[in-house]
Amino acid sequence: MEDFEEARDKILMGAVREDTVNEMEKKITAYHEAGHALVARSLPGTDPIHKVSIIPRGMAMGVTQQLPEEDRHYYPMKYLMNKLAVMLGGRVAEKIVFDDVSTGAQSDLKEASSLAEKMVAQWGMSDKVGPLSLGRGEEHPFLGRELAQPKRYSEDMAWLMDQEIRRLIVDAEGTAEEVLRSGRTALDALAEALLKEEVLDREDVDRIIGKSVP
């Protein structure tokens, strides 16, 4: 199983980087991933944590892996909002602990913005925009790029969608911040364990949070 785990991680994230990471960057990464993990573990209906790692691979300094327990064919809005909160948990943890944010959240913000855009413009999950599918954010099924097609909405609607996308992300960020501030003891404990062990599995995360939260 260790060989399978290593092979999967290498394919998904790249080979382990041998470059030296200074202590401050390692600490930021530990709190960043601990933030993702604690939000994922705390909110209802999120996919279970499989592994949390601060070993640099490819372009990533760390990773929090979640694996669904069953196939999903529908994605309720509550599930997607919690998913957004998990994506933003790393950035929020940095802000709480270091009173600052870093470029480490770039891919998280990109994924969160893309998901929020689909929720608003394709899946009718904004009351202000309404039950419309406006084509924004659609990708070519083979090329993976946004389709070059005429806009099916006005500039006013584009502005409204922008506001609603931002609202979803800000709301999700607020949820993540509430979880992490109330669970600061668990956040610190997870980060300390990551700095010591570098990799935590689901049982480790459950045990650490269980000891930290009454």
Q: How far apart are the first and last CA of the chain?
A: 34
Instruction: Please say whether the beta carbons of 13 and 58 come within 8 A.
Output: yes
* Cα 62 from Cα 30, distance rounded (Å): 8
β strands within the chain, DSSP E: 49-53, 63-66, 199-201
Active-site amino acid positions: 33
Tokens 């009351």 correspond to 127
Instruction: Please say whether the beta carbons of 32 and 95 come within 8 A.
Output: no
Of the candidates 69, 82, 99, the residue with the CA atom closest to the CA atom of residue 38: 82
User: E strand or H helix at 44, and its extent?
Assistant: none
Of the candidates 27, 48, 56, the residue with the CA atom closest to the CA atom of residue 193: 27
* Radius of gyration, CA atoms only, the chain: 18
